Amino acid sequence: MYDPLISAGPGHAAAWPDSYWADTAGAAPADDGPVSCDMSVDVAIIGGGYTGLSAAYHLVKEQGVEAVVLEANGTGWGCSGRNGGFALKAGGRLSWQKMVRRFGSDQAQQMFGEIYNGLERVRGLIRDEGIDCDQQPDGHLWVAHRPRMMAAAREEQRFLQTQFGYATQLLSADELAQQHFISDEACGALRYSDGFGVHPLKLAWGYHRLARAAGARIHTASPVQSWRKEGGYHLLETPGGVVRAKTVICATNGYTAPGLTPLLKNRTFPVLSNVIVTRPLTEQELAATGFQSSDVIADTRTLRFYYRKLPDNRILIGGRSAITGRDAANPKHNNNLLQALKRKFSALQDLTFDYQWGGWVSLSFDEMPHIHQSEDGSVLYAMGYGGSGVTFAVQAGARLAEKVAGRTAGHGLPILSSALPKFPLAPFRRLGQQALYHYYYARDERR
């Protein structure tokens, strides 16, 4: 598997991974084909995931600026076509409580608003533009995997109410069983009334269609293999021609190769997350688990498992995976996910899975997403969403478009206008990751 800490780039015209999403998304939308000659553009966007497609759409539609997307493979080939499809009020890994401690109440309140706008922007685009992406009813469960975690859920509920005036529902184990599912492991849950499941690749292709309909060009199979600046222009070399751009948006996120731009050197940490999708549950299994909920679900582990029942009664479950791309195909990672599911639902001992895949989530050192514009204004990026980019990437794309157009009123928040911090001791990131996995595992599984 492509390893963004080691490989030269994410490939060239590679097929989408063999995922449940790719299998059920239908035909890929029409695009502008590979770059086939040298060209000059106002804004070149490297990367055709949610960030790049949203930036292209908002640039053309709202800012009247020419935008061209350069995607190494097909749109949604990276995280945007591989994720769990949890559209949440979230951005990055920083907890709301940490955010208040770090930035104070007022700024945290504004960031809460910005992140909420991300969720509402996605909801609005799906609704107003009629994106067909199997949107599920709202509901997001945070399930206590140990009795002691109910105290954490209670505290989170109190905190969200007093700090942000945001109401949640605390469910006992019995209420969870009656209203959602019967799980051997669940001790209760905190339920957020917003957040919903989607088909992530259909959603990415929905943005693709919107961006092209608005007038953006999307060149697939067009990896940027080198990038230099000459006479005030950026020259992006692709196999089919050189793209000369006044402004470049780097929307490569967890798939950013080390040599792409010095602006990002040692500022992102790609971490693998794996997903399996089971065969459809039988009527008996549905009855035994009482699984009636279409909510998106995560447990309270730091190394959390995220799961949801899909519209065709399969279960998708994801979680941490290998440390390196080389170890990604090791079957133990997917078996861990299956075993975790069986621990949660003892009635599913015969369950098998039909699909498996993984993708690179981009972590930032301070656990927050960052949107940044270089001093001369001609290079921008947005990334570091952790496992929570389905909504914030789209918000970031709109903010990137505003920055390109010089409309930066209201961009003062750290998540909207600051560079990703460098990782200290960057060459040892993976050693640290391994040590943290052991530590978190021991802490998570403690009774």
Ligand X SMILES: Cc1cc2nc3c(=O)[nH]c(=O)nc-3n(C[C@H](O)[C@H](O)[C@H](O)COP(=O)(O)OP(=O)(O)OC[C@H]3O[C@@H](n4cnc5c(N)ncnc54)[C@H](O)[C@@H]3O)c2cc1C
According to the binding rule CB under 6 A, does residue 10 interact with ligand X? yes
**Six token digits for residue 124:** 């609005």
Single out the residue of 35, 39, 43, 46 in contact with ligand X (rule: CB under 6 A).
Answer: 46
According to the binding rule CB under 6 A, does residue 59 interact with ligand X? no
According to the binding rule CB under 6 A, does residue 361 interact with ligand X? yes
Whether 108 and 100 have beta carbons less than 8 Å apart is answered as yes
Residues 272-301 as x/- pattern, contact with ligand X by CB under 6 A: -x-x--------------------------
Shortest CB 417 distance to ligand X, Å: 18
According to the binding rule CB under 6 A, does residue 47 interact with ligand X? yes
User: What are the backbone dihedrals phi and psi of residue 438, each rounded to the nearest 5 degrees, phi first?
Assistant: -65, -45
According to the binding rule CB under 6 A, does residue 208 interact with ligand X? no
According to the binding rule CB under 6 A, does residue 84 interact with ligand X? yes
DSSP 44: E
Pairwise CA distance, residues 242 & 244, whole Å: 6
Residues 218-257 as x/- pattern, contact with ligand X by CB under 6 A: -----xx--------------------------xxxxx-x
Single out the residue of 25, 59, 88, 316 in contact with ligand X (rule: CB under 6 A).
Answer: 88
Residue nearest to ligand X (CB): 389
Pairwise CA distance, residues 415 & 201, whole Å: 26
According to the binding rule CB under 6 A, does residue 70 interact with ligand X? yes
According to the binding rule CB under 6 A, does residue 82 interact with ligand X? yes
Q: Which is nearer to ligand X, 176 or 383 (CB)?
A: 383
According to the binding rule CB under 6 A, does residue 359 interact with ligand X? yes
Residue ranges in 137-156 that form contacts with ligand X under rule CB under 6 A: none
User: What are the backbone dihedrals phi and psi of residue 301, each rounded to the nearest 5 degrees, phi first?
Assistant: -65, 150
**Which of the ranges 25-33, 43-51, 127-135, 162-170 carries the binding residues for ligand X, by CB under 6 A?**
43-51
Q: Which is nearer to ligand X, 161 or 324 (CB)?
A: 324
Binding site for ligand X (CB under 6 A): 9-10, 46-52, 70-73, 77-80, 82-86, 88, 223-224, 251-255, 257, 260, 273, 275, 318, 359, 361, 383, 385, 387-390, 393
